[in-house]
Amino acid sequence: MLSDFNLLASTMRGNERQMCYELAFLLKEAGDPEPKSDKTGIRGLVVARTTLDPVEAVEKFKALLVEKPYEFRYSLRIIPIQKVVHTELDEVKEAALELASKLGEEESFRITVEKRFTGIHSRDLIEAVATEVKNKVDLEKPDKILLIEVLGGYTGVALLKPSDIISVLKEKML
């Protein structure tokens, strides 16, 4: 698995290889000359490394989805990742707090944890970060989401607007 990924994509179980090819193709369409994608060892999840800004790459995917929806055959969800650390509470906390420091004074936030193959509890991750961030918490309609994606030994962290994540099926229905 790529340890320096900056995109996380989900697909249906069993389609990970096809998703790797699709993600690399989509990144080339978005302007990345040398994208890398790899299976994670977790069914339904693929990671990628792009030279593009990952949030901008997802924006380009959204535009491509409107133009050429048939090119998204295996993608379910594509998420930009801004930092990758080893799955250790202190490292995850440090990365999350560094990103949370970019919150505007009036911006609300929510912490979302998605974890696989780890013994760390979601509550421990949330408490470690939330107690340090002074912004208002809004679980329903936050301005930003502090996303913590645990993939076994590696954890991806991102501070995103809800619109920065592409959910392909929802987008196709709009």
Nearest residue to 77 via CA among 102, 114, 119:
114
Mean pLDDT computed over 57-78: 96
Residues 48 and 102 in one domain: no
pLDDT tens-digit series, residues 112-159? 999 999 999 999 999 999 999 999 999 999 999 999 999 999 999 999
| Residues 64 and 106 both lie in one domain | no
Domains of the chain: total? 2
- Same domain? 54 vs 118: no
Please give the model's pTM, rounded to 2 decimal places. Answer: 0.94
Same domain? 116 vs 167: no
- In eight-state DSSP terms, residue 53 is -
> Alpha-carbon distance 171 to 174, whole Å?
5
Nearest residue to 8 via CA among 112, 100, 121, 132: 112
Residue 144 has a pLDDT of 98
Q: Whole domain around residue 105: which residue ranges? A: 83-160
**Same domain membership, residue 125 and residue 89:** yes
